[in-house]
Amino acid sequence: MGLPNSTDIKSFEARELQSLIVLVLFLVIAFTASASSQGIYFNFQTFNDSIIGLQGNATVDSRYFIQITPSSPYCMGWATYYEPMRLWDKATGNVADFTTQFTFAIDSPYKPLVADGFTFFLVPNGSQLPANSTGGARGIINDSDPQSARFVAIEFDTFYTDVGGNFGGAINDRICSPIGQNGKDSHIGIDLNNLTSVNSTCVDRLEDKIRGGGQIKAVITYNSNTQNLSVLMMDANATGTGINSTNTHHKVNFTEHLPEWVTFGFSASTGMVFESHTIMAWEFRSTVQVARQKSKSWLWPILGSSSFILLLFFLAFIWFRHRSKSKRADMSGEEDDLVIDEEFEQVSGPKKFTYKELVMATDNFIVERLLGEGGFGRVYEGYLTNVNANVAIKKINPGSRQGIKEYAAEVMTISRLRHRNLVQLIGWCQRKRNSSLFMSSCLMGALILI
């Protein structure tokens, strides 16, 4: 068996230090990453005006659902989340990823006649419900100043509106049926600053569900890496395979259309023909990686995080030193044991005893068996059953000035001496650095040193 040397110990320390550095860096990266991420998450099955901002004709009904508009003519309303969302970060250019899903129903007492629809929208933070936004304006543009609108929206449109009229060319809906067949023009579209969709899809497979007041589920997702904004609409109560669904998508760079902070939620409107727009459940999740602030208020978080990191390094350093010291001590103790074993085995006569045998011989070194005490340790009376002899056992004090080399030299010297007036060494025991033992016979028995 090879003995551990200084190279082995240094190799151990290097491996331990590498592991320590990896651990600390992992903690620092995790701390930094969590500190630089912002986002919103909620999942509402019921609503109240403490979490939803209501404007215009929007209300929370007796079922705790959102009524964006009632089933009445010429209404308009907004229902928005009570906190703004960070859509992108100017310092880094990072844009948020977000996904939202909600269940809605559209109903009219005059079905199949329905109008006009609703939107899920994002607008500059602090924006308000525009005036003159009933009818085809869907509560998102002012029909007296349609060009001033600034928004990104997903429209759920139930009525065809063409270019011109009061909207100054800001609306040009997709035709999903012959003109004049109201109630069969439902479509979804993606709108950028006006209601002429950059991409849209008819929802003829869900037309009856919409006109009948059935529940519809919509899922909207934005991937900032691909800049893909997509919407999927399906029957909320359908199960199994073959579920009717409709989807559309478009590439959108939000930094070109909206500021960093936005208000988001739902808008709706009715005109001479009308319907109710109800949101029954709403889930939303967003996340964006942002740069640290550069204002003076940033000082305290930085000092706090720096102190936290320094504390990690300090504690890790203490742990590393303690572990390395313990390992070196273990290696050194094992090395001492091996050296002593090899040297003592070359000497004829003395026998190696186990520490357990000495404990049994002295009744665990009780005070009643103590014969005397010197500078290097104590001497106890004992009886070794396996050699049928009374012995004196010297137990060396670990804190004494007698080191391992001196102990080994003493054992080697005594074992070679032969004289009728000298005690004979009959055994020894080495138990790492803490307990070094040997035994010598005397006239009335034998002497054992520990």
Find how far residue 40's CA is from the centre of its chain. Answer: 15
Residue 395 marked in a binding site: yes
Domain assignment present for 31: no
Q: Does 365 lie in the same domain as 271?
A: no
Domain assignment present for 156: yes
Domain assignment present for 426: yes
Is there a contact between 38 and 287 (Cβ–Cβ < 8 Å)? yes
DSSP state string for 308-348 = HHHHHHHHHHHHHHHHHHHHHHHHHHHHHHHHHHHHHTTSS
Q: Does 230 lie in the same domain as 136?
A: yes
Q: Residue 106: which CATH number? A: 2.60.120.200
Domain end: 238, 261, 286, which one? 286
Amino acid at 207: E
H/E stretch holding 55 reads strand 52-56
Q: Does 355 lie in the same domain as 280?
A: no
Domain assignment present for 395: yes
So what's the pLDDT on residue 3?
46
Q: How far apart are CA 79 and CA 140, in angstroms?
A: 12
Find how far residue 313's CA is from the centre of its chain. Answer: 22
Q: Does 356 lie in the same domain as 268?
A: no
So what's the pLDDT on residue 338?
56
Residue range of the domain that includes 151? 38-161+184-286
- What secondary structure letter does DSSP report for 297? G
Is there a contact between 289 and 109 (Cβ–Cβ < 8 Å)? no
Predicted confidence pLDDT, tens digits, the chain (450 residues): 444 455 554 555 556 556 656 655 655 555 454 447 889 999 999 999 999 999 999 999 999 999 999 989 999 999 999 999 999 999 889 999 999 999 999 887 776 677 788 999 999 999 999 999 998 888 999 988 888 889 999 999 887 665 444 544 455 555 666 554 555 667 889 999 988 889 988 887 667 777 777 899 999 999 999 999 999 988 888 776 667 788 999 999 999 999 999 999 999 999 888 889 999 999 999 999 987 655 555 555 666 666 777 777 777 777 777 776 666 555 555 555 555 556 555 555 677 788 888 888 888 888 888 888 876 778 888 888 877 878 888 887 766 555 556 666 666 676 666 666 666 677 777 766 545 455 554 545 455 545
Q: Measure Cα distances from 358 to 20, 274, 312, 412 in Å.
A: 42, 101, 46, 20
Domain assignment present for 318: no
Q: Does 355 lie in the same domain as 273?
A: no
So what's the pLDDT on residue 440?
55
Domain assignment present for 5: no
Q: Residue 439: which CATH number? A: 3.30.200.20
So what's the pLDDT on residue 400?
59
Q: Does 374 lie in the same domain as 275?
A: no
So what's the pLDDT on residue 1?
44
Q: Does 213 lie in the same domain as 113?
A: yes
Domain assignment present for 415: yes
So what's the pLDDT on residue 7?
55
Domain end: 259, 286, 313, which one? 286
So what's the pLDDT on residue 422?
65
Domain end: 264, 286, 308, which one? 286
So what's the pLDDT on residue 344?
58
Q: Does 406 lie in the same domain as 271?
A: no
Q: Does 442 lie in the same domain as 356?
A: yes
Q: Does 362 lie in the same domain as 279?
A: no
Contacts of 360 (CB under 8 A, 6+ apart): 385
So what's the pLDDT on residue 291?
79
- What secondary structure letter does DSSP report for 443? T
Domain assignment present for 391: yes
Query: How many structural domains comprise the chain?
Result: 2
Rounded to two decimals, the pTM is 0.58
- What secondary structure letter does DSSP report for 4? P
DSSP state string for 383-439 = EETTTTEEEEEEEE-TTSS--HHHHHHHHHHHHH---TTSPPEEEEEEETTTEEEEE
Q: Does 239 lie in the same domain as 357?
A: no
**How far apart, in Å, do the first and last CA atoms of the chain sit?**
26
Q: Does 255 lie in the same domain as 364?
A: no
